[in-house]
A = this chain, B = another copy of it.
Amino acid sequence: VKGLVHHMLNLVLTESAIELVPSDLWKHPAVMKRSRLIGKNPGQMLLDRSYHHGAMLQIKDGRKRGRPDIAHFCLLNALGAPLNLEGGLRTSVHTREDKLIMVSPETRLPRNYDRYIGLIEQLYSHGKVPAKGKTLLEIRSETLSEHIRDIDASRIVALSRAGAKSTIQEVVEMVAAEPNPLFLIGGFPAGGFSSQTTGLADDIFSIYHETLDASIVVARVIYEYEKTMGLSSSCLTSHVR
């Protein structure tokens, strides 16, 4: 029994800055140093600006890449939210290389960053984690467009500074009647969505006059959705669960 939640909110962290170190950086000193330190081959390591900044200066679109911490903060804000605990949220991570990470709502993600990175690296190696038992994270090659078809979203809203000005409350109230709304939130540190992404959205809204951290946007969309659906008051009574 999952309480009073009838509808499902879908969140896709979009074009997220998660990828393995690309092969042309494997010989870079910054990458080799980190590789020796943690005892992993460069090709099994996630690209990470904290550790590979020197190596990333030379790559294309560098400022939008190598930030797996963004998805970490977003996922912690999503998975720990009452909406998720009550079974009303589906979260996934789309990467700029069109990998798709399915995240089970029951996942208890490591809080420690190095352990989180280790888990995602294990996911890239094995396709799913944990190796045994119920799968919590699964990765596959899938475009955002294919993923949206899988979700069968009834309305797709992208949040971006380039969108029409609105408030989160107005945006969420607009989709409240939808059985299966989907929010696209950018999982990258700078710049905007690609035109491919914005082309998939029914609406694009800007909820603040400056760039906000993706994790803060995630927290607000979920909370506002809970309020609009009446979850924040209903779940206080113990008979709900």
Contacts and interface: CB of A to CB of B under 8 A. Distances in A.
B165 A236 contact: yes
A80 B167 contact: no
A56 to B, nearest CB: 14
Interface residue tally of chain A, by bracket?
35 or more
A189 to B, nearest CB: 9
Interface stretch (A133-141, A194-202, A212-220): A212-220
A168 B232 contact: yes
A236 B169 CA distance: 13
Interface string A91-110: 00000000000000000000
A140 to B, nearest CB: 27
A65 to B, nearest CB: 15
Contacts of A67: 111
A15 interface: no
A227 B208 CA distance: 13
Interface in A148-166: 165-166
Q: Does more than half of chain A's interface fall in helix, strand or loop, or is it mixed?
A: helix
Given A69-B111, A112-B50, A112-B113, A236 B209 contact: yes
19 contacts: A50-B111, A50-B112, A50-B114, A67-B111, A69-B111, A69-B113, A76-B215, A77-B215, A77-B216, A114-B114, A167-B232, A167-B236, A168-B232, A169-B227, A208-B235, A209-B235, A209-B236, A209-B238, A219-B219
B114 A81 contact: no
Copies of this protein, total: 2
A26 interface: no
A183 interface: no
B69 A112 contact: yes
A192 interface: no
A85 to B, nearest CB: 7
A24 interface: no
Given A77-B219, A80-B213, 13 more contacts: A50-B114, A50-B115, A67-B111, A80-B215, A80-B216, A169-B232, A208-B235, A208-B236, A209-B238, A216-B219, A219-B220, A219-B223, A223-B223
